[in-house]
Amino acid sequence: MEAIFLSARVRRHPDRHVFLVLVVLMSVAAVACRPQPVVTPVDPEPEPPVPPPPVLCGLCGAVVPPETALYRRPLLVLLDNHSAARPQAGIPAACLVFETLAEGGITRLAPVFAHAAPERIGPVRSARPYFLDLALGLDAFIAHAGQSPEAAADIENLKVASLNAFGFDDHYWRESARKAPHNLYTSDERLRAAAVKARLTLTRDAAAVRWPVDVGAAPAAELPAAPGLRVVWPFSSTGHVTVFRWRAAAEGEEYGRYERSVNDKPHLDEESGEILGGRNVAVLFAKMWRIAGDPEGRLDANFTGAGRAIVASDGRLIEAKWRKSTRASALELVDQNGERLELPPGQTWILIVPEQTVVEVLAP
Ligand SMILES: [Zn+2]
């Protein structure tokens, strides 16, 4: 329309060239003013969703598939370590295993289960007061078969999350293949069901609970070698010797570990037949003594305060310290500067031995 009107005017004007230019310019302008098609911006290719980082156990470094499993309250089970009780069941599934003396110079083992849920754990034995400190420090349930009179009072006074077999009989079973009292078994599922029945808190505040060590890198290669540790437990009339000897990683294994023997015999897992042991072994020296006049020869111990510790980790030796301010507070391993100890991922064993115990670092 604009172009027709302009060409009509061109015929009447003397200077045709000027008007010709005008016509061209106006035509261009008309084209430029025509509504342009609306261009909708194309969305960029959607980014593939970033998978959440793997959730790791803060104690053993294992990848924990369901995140909720990390928030399960830890479970500490007191296991018999009498020769008639070996081999025990359930220990390989533990993140951490404590070992310390009961009476007669024989130790008791206390595996701690955070995310794994073994279907058979045992044989379970009775509690002593100082074992309660270990459970309290982790805010853990403690599974046990009875207890000494002192431990009974402490369970009450310190509000220990006790899952006593004598009271939760349905949650334990006896196996006829072994003689009592070395034949009481249970499972993670049955114990957690007992905790529901007892109306105990089932979860833990992951941020508030401190494990004894943090997961970190393997110790520096410059540290002295620790081919193994030999612990001669005191208070034993017959001799009770625990040895951990380093075995380098076999083909297909991510890392090596310290294999355990008791009185020169490999200490086996009842389920798999494999030798028990872990990548990290810590020996903590603490005050332990015989209770004067106790007819059973029971011991007492002080696991609060601070003391020396030696740690064999990944074939290296670390001089460390332990500390625990109250019976209910966390047990921590620290380096010489008081910084929390970092040990590489894997199962950790913590042996708490009387101060006078002879602990030898094995020769290669
Ligand atoms: Zn773990």
Taking only the tens place, the pLDDT of each residue in 166-213 is 999 999 999 999 999 999 999 999 999 999 999 999 988 766 678 999
Cα(2) to ligand 1 centroid in Å equals 83
Cα(21) to ligand 1 centroid in Å equals 86
Beta bridge partners of 283: 310, 351
For range 321-339, the mean pLDDT: 97
Instruction: Determine the angle formed by the axes of helices 16-33 and 2-12, rounding to 10 degrees.
Output: 170
Domains of the chain in sequence order: 67-361 (3.50.90.10)
Helices first, then strands: H and E counts in the chain: 5, 22
Confidence at residue 38, expressed as pLDDT on a 0 to 100 scale? 66
Quote the tokens at residue 3: 């172009």
Confidence at residue 69, expressed as pLDDT on a 0 to 100 scale? 67
Query: Closest Cα partner for 315 from 234, 254, 235, 246?
Result: 246
CB burial of 179-197 (b: ≥16 within 10 Å; e: otherwise) equals eebbbbbbbbebbbebbee
Burial degree of 96 (CB within 10 A; 0-12, 13-18, 19+): buried
Quote the tokens at residue 292: 């004067």
For range 73-97, the mean pLDDT: 97
pLDDT at 2 > cutoff 70: no
Cα(147) to ligand 1 centroid in Å equals 27
Confidence at residue 81, expressed as pLDDT on a 0 to 100 scale? 96
Question: Using CA atoms, how far apart are residues 15 and 156, in angstroms rounded to an integer?
Answer: 115
Q: Is residue 23 very low, low, confident or very high in pLDDT (cuts 50, 70, 90)? A: very low
Cα(138) to ligand 1 centroid in Å equals 13
Cα(57) to ligand 1 centroid in Å equals 5
Cα(140) to ligand 1 centroid in Å equals 14
Cα(301) to ligand 1 centroid in Å equals 27
Q: How far is CA 9 from the centre of its chain?
A: 93
Cα(360) to ligand 1 centroid in Å equals 28
Question: What whole-number percentage of the chain has pLDDT above 70?
Answer: 86
Cα(331) to ligand 1 centroid in Å equals 17
For range 313-332, the mean pLDDT: 97
Cα(224) to ligand 1 centroid in Å equals 27
More confidently predicted of 143 and 48: 143
pLDDT at 341 > cutoff 50: yes
The mean-pLDDT minimum among 4-8, 47-51, 76-80, 94-98 falls in 4-8
Cα(352) to ligand 1 centroid in Å equals 20
Cα(11) to ligand 1 centroid in Å equals 96
Cα(3) to ligand 1 centroid in Å equals 84
Cα(59) to ligand 1 centroid in Å equals 5
Cα(324) to ligand 1 centroid in Å equals 21
Cα(297) to ligand 1 centroid in Å equals 35
Cα(345) to ligand 1 centroid in Å equals 9
pLDDT at 145 > cutoff 60: yes
Query: Closest Cα partner for 161 from 130, 123, 199?
Result: 199
Cα(62) to ligand 1 centroid in Å equals 6
pLDDT at 129 > cutoff 60: yes
Asked whether 330 and 324 are in contact (CB, 8 A), the reply is: yes
Mean pLDDT score of the chain, rounded to an integer? 89
Confidence at residue 35, expressed as pLDDT on a 0 to 100 scale? 57
Beta bridge partners of 324: 305
Asked whether 244 and 281 are in contact (CB, 8 A), the reply is: yes
pLDDT at 5 > cutoff 90: no
Residues 6 or more apart whose Cβ sits within 8 Å of residue 129 = 148, 150, 151, 154, 300, 301
Cα(121) to ligand 1 centroid in Å equals 17
220-251 pLDDT tens trace: 999 999 999 999 999 987 889 999 999 999 99
Cα(207) to ligand 1 centroid in Å equals 15
| DSSP classification of residue 275 | B
Confidence at residue 9, expressed as pLDDT on a 0 to 100 scale? 44
For range 67-79, the mean pLDDT: 85
Q: Is residue 37 very low, low, confident or very high in pLDDT (cuts 50, 70, 90)? A: low
Residues 6 or more apart whose Cβ sits within 8 Å of residue 92 = 269, 271, 272, 274, 276, 347
Cα(101) to ligand 1 centroid in Å equals 24
Question: Using CA atoms, how far apart are residues 155 and 127, in angstroms rounded to an integer?
Answer: 10
Question: Using CA atoms, how far apart are residues 84 and 237, in angstroms rounded to an integer?
Answer: 17
Quote the tokens at residue 147: 């207890």
Cα(64) to ligand 1 centroid in Å equals 8
